[in-house]
Amino acid sequence: MDTYRAIEERARRRFPRIAFDAVAGGADDEVTLRRNRAAFDDIALIPRLLRGVEEVSTEVELFGQRARTPVLLGPAGISVVAGNRAFGEAIRGATAAGTFTALSAFLPLDAVAREGEPPQWAHLYLLRDRDETRRRIETAQRRGCSALILTAAAPVNGNRERELRNGTTFPLQLRVRDVLRRPWWLGEYLSRDLARSMGERVRREPAQGGPWDAVRKIHLSGQSWDDLRWVREMWDGPLLLKGVLAPEDGAAAVEAGCEGVIVSSHGGRQLDSAPAAIEMLPEVVAAVAGRGRVLVDSGITRGTDVVKALALGASAVLLGKAWIYAVMTGGADGITRLLTQLEYEIGNTMHLMGVGDVADLGPDSIRLRAGRAWERVAPR
C-alpha cells in the first residue's frame, strides 16, 4: 500500500539525511510545516445516510482538461535529489493514473520532451534575468504547456535550518560520508544520472555561500504586480498565481487577468508562521468569488484531505512532498501507485459520506472546529 506515510518512511530510511531533509524540511521552527498537517484534523467530514449512491465519480475538469482525480503533481525543483529523469517519470506516472503535472522552472523542458513525454502545466519563478524568464515562457508556449503557474512566494528563500545544519549547498553536493551512510543511495545516484543533473546545475547557477544566497541572486526579489502583468501579456493561456494566502491577493490576481490561484504556504518551506493553506482557502474562495479557479496545496497526504479541500471550494489540489517521495523511491510506478491509492481513498471517503460526485461536495459536507479560525485584529 503506497500511502503517504509508507513512502515517506521509505524515503527516510533509504536516502541520506542531506537529501531527505532537503525535501522534508520547513522554514525556521517548522511551525507552518506542522500547521499544514494539523489543520486538516480540525475539519470534520459529515456523512449523510441512505442516499442511494452506487457509483462515485472523482473526475474533474480544469481549463478544458479532464483528470480522473482532482489531484495534480505540484511544481518542485528536485533534480538535485531525484535527478532530471524524475520529471519524465512523474509525468509518465501521473498520465498512467489519469491526471497531470505542473513542472518546475528549473526543469529542462527539452530534456523531458526528448524522453517522449509531453509537458503539461509549466511553472515559472520571476528571475532577475528577464530574458531568461521570457525564454522560459516562450519554451513553455512552444512545447504546448496548457497552463502556467507563476510562483510568487519565493522572492528569497525560506530560512530552512535543516539545510544549514546539514551543510546543504545549492545545488546539493553530497559528501562521501553522506553516501557511505546509505549505500543504497549510491546505486540510485549513479543509475538516476544524478551526478549529471547536479553538474548541469553547477554550471548554470553557481552557489554563493548558503542556499538562500543563491536564490536571492537568481530570483527577482523585488517582484511586483507589474511583473505579473508582464507575464500575463506574454503568456497565451490560463495563468495561475501560486502562493496566495491573503484573500486580497486572490482578488488582485483575478483582477490582473489570472484564470486561477493556488492557495499555498509552500509546504511550510517559505514564510514560517504563515497559516496552513487550507485554513485560508475559504477566505480566498470568497474573495475570488467565482472569477477564477482556486486550487490548494500544502499538507495534502490523504484522500480525506482532498475531499475537505473540495468541500471548502477548491477545484483541485496539488501534491508536493508526497510525489517527490514517491518518485525518489519508486520512479514512474511509484507515482502511479501513490495516485491510485489517493483515488481509492477519495472515492471511498465520498461513498462513506453519501456523495456520488465531487461537484456535490460543499459546505454541508464539513464542519470546522469552532474557535480555531484566524481572526483579524480589530482596527485601531
**Using CB under 6 A as the criterion, which residues of the chain lie in contact with ligand FMN when the complex forms?**
23, 36, 74-78, 104, 123, 151, 242, 264, 266-267, 269, 297-300, 319-322, 324
Q: Least distance in Å: CB of 49 to ligand FMN?
A: 33
Pick between residue 25 and residue 292 the one whose CB is nearest to ligand FMN.
25
70, 90 Cβ separation under 8 angstroms? no
- In the bound state with ligand FMN, the residue whose beta carbon lies nearer, of 112 and 300, is 300
CB of 159 to ligand FMN, least distance (A): 15
351 is catalytic: no
Shortest Cβ 36–ligand FMN spacing (Å)? 5
SS (H, E, C) the chain: CCCHHHHHHHHHHHCCHHHHHHHHCCCCCCHHHHHHHHHHHCEEECCCCCCCCCCCECCEEECCEEECCCEEECCCCCHHHHCCHHHHHHHHHHHHCCCCEECCCCCCHHHHHHCCCCCCEEEEECECCHHHHHHHHHHHHHCCCCEEEEECCCCCCCCCHHHHHHCCCCCCCCCHHHHHHCHHHHHHHHHCCHHHHHHHHHHHCCCCCCHHHHHHHHECCCCCHHHHHHHHHHCCCCEEEEEECCHHHHHHHHHCCCCEEEECCHHHCCCCCCCCHHHHHHHHHHHHCCCCEEEEECCCCCHHHHHHHHHCCCCEEEECHHHHHHHHHHHHHHHHHHHHHHHHHHHHHHHHHCCCEHHHCCHHHEEECCCCCCCCCCCC
- The residue among 299 and 331 lying less far from ligand FMN, judged by its C-beta, is 299
| Closest separation in Å from C-beta 32 to ligand FMN | 10
Closer CB to ligand FMN, 121 or 189, in the complex: 121
Please identify which residue in the block is written with the cell numbers 496552513. 276
Q: Which one, 242 or 308, has the nearer CB to ligand FMN?
A: 242
Determine which one of 123, 219, 266, 351 is catalytic.
Answer: 266
Shortest gap between Cβ of 367 and ligand FMN (angstroms)? Answer: 23
- Name the closest residue to ligand FMN (Cβ): 320
Residue closer to ligand FMN by CB (options 275, 355) is 275
Shortest Å, Cβ 314 to ligand FMN: 13
Q: Please identify, using beta-carbon distances, which residue of 189 and 325 lies nearer to ligand FMN.
A: 325
C-alpha cell at 97: 493514473
Shortest reach from residue 144's CB to ligand FMN, in Å: 21
As a whole number of Å, the CA-based R_g of the chain is 20
Instruction: Give the distance from CA 12 to its chain's centroid.
Output: 20
- Residues identified as active-site: 266
